Amino acid sequence: MKIIFMGTPDFAVSPLQALIDAGHEIAAVFTRQDKPVGRKQILTAPPVKTLALEKGIPVCQPNTLRSAEAEKIVARIQPDIIVVAAYGRILPKNILNLPRLGCVNVHASLLPKYRGAAPVQRAVLDGEPVTGVTTMQMAEGVDTGDILLSEKTEIGAEETAGELLSRLSPIGAALLIRTLTGLEDGTVVPVPQNDAESSYAPMLTRELSPIDWNRPAEQIHNQVRGLSPWPGASTSFAGKTLKIHRTRPAGTDRGMPGQILPGGELKAVCGGGTVLELLEVQMEGKKKMKGSDFLQGHPAEGILLGK
């Protein structure tokens, strides 16, 4: 097939590589603009652009697809299909209608659940035990198109959103190849989504970071996992921000919500007397460290976090 691929972050790299390995003709790659990264704000190319340039594939980085120029580029290429994986831009109707076989999206959830920009993170935040990847025929709505194929996977009890995204990427890549083969030979039949079962996964914001220690330990644990690596969960300790990178529910105990318990492990009381062990933390301006190591330099027994 002649394909235009649209994608941006690490999640989209495996699907693009799979298309290349399968021998498809990648006529062009559309991706987001280069962005400043890190403290030094070094202008950095998206991961998909890096792979495309390594393979000698033409790269387009339009500010929007709602332009005559973008439509002309797609029309000139005349792709059999457009494949989208975490591109981060809306495809307008005129673009959707150009390819012979339409547009296929690789979406990191079991649609119709978790439509939107942050399906993996929201599934972890909600404490879902299972998620997956769905390929869908794109329509004008946000992730509302007909389902083509899907693949399930369990979410680990301590797995972070970032780790889960990395694991879902190759699953999505394999599912994509099966989908394209099925579309070519007619064995994949689109199935409409049940809108009554749908849910939405909006983009993450920094406002989600502060931990409310009145919530049960399991919910805070899911918050830490779901917001990793960005924007991260945080609390305050001695007037400074303390980022919480890894946690584990650790039974029950007495104390006020947010209170650090005595002992050699960094444990905090949460809502309902539940307890959360803080396995990996990072004080403002410092490096990550184990919770037990943090205690050695910061006597914390009885301190209330978040106050």
Q: According to CATH, where is 3.10.25.10 located in the chain?
A: 206-297
Distances (CA, A) of 204 to 34, 131, 180, 187: 21, 18, 31, 37
CATH of 206-297, one of 3.10.25.10, 3.90.1720.10, 3.40.47.10, 2.160.10.10: 3.10.25.10
3-state secondary structure of 196: helix
How is residue 305 written in tokens?
């976090």
* Cα(180)–Cα(174) distance, integer angstroms: 10
For 175-184, what is each residue's pLDDT tens digit? 999 999 999 9
* Cα(144)–Cα(191) distance, integer angstroms: 11
Percent of the chain at pLDDT exceeding 70 = 100
- This prediction has a pTM of 0.96
Distances (CA, A) of 257 to 90, 143, 268, 277: 43, 39, 8, 13
Q: 161 or 306: whose pLDDT is higher? A: 161
What confidence score (pLDDT) does residue 307 get?
59
Q: According to CATH, where is 3.40.50.170 located in the chain?
A: 2-197
Which residue type is seen at 163? E
Mean per-residue pLDDT for 64-79? 96
For 114-171, what is each residue's pLDDT tens digit? 999 999 999 999 999 999 999 999 999 999 999 999 999 999 999 999 999 999 999 9
Which residue type is seen at 191? V
pLDDT at residue 16 above 90?
yes
Give the CATH class of 2-197.
alpha beta
Strand boundaries in the chain, DSSP class E: 2-7, 25-30, 35-37, 42-44, 59-60, 81-85, 103-107, 130-137, 147-154, 233-237, 240-252, 267-269, 274-283, 289-290
For 210-256, what is each residue's pLDDT tens digit? 999 999 999 999 999 999 999 999 999 989 999 999 999 999 999 99
Q: Which residues pair with 234 in a beta bridge?
A: 210, 243
How is residue 153 written in tokens?
């996977």
For 206-218, what is each residue's pLDDT tens digit? 999 999 999 999 9
pLDDT confidence tier of residue 301, bands split at 50, 70 and 90: confident
Average per-residue pLDDT for the chain: 96
How is residue 65 written in tokens?
């697809």
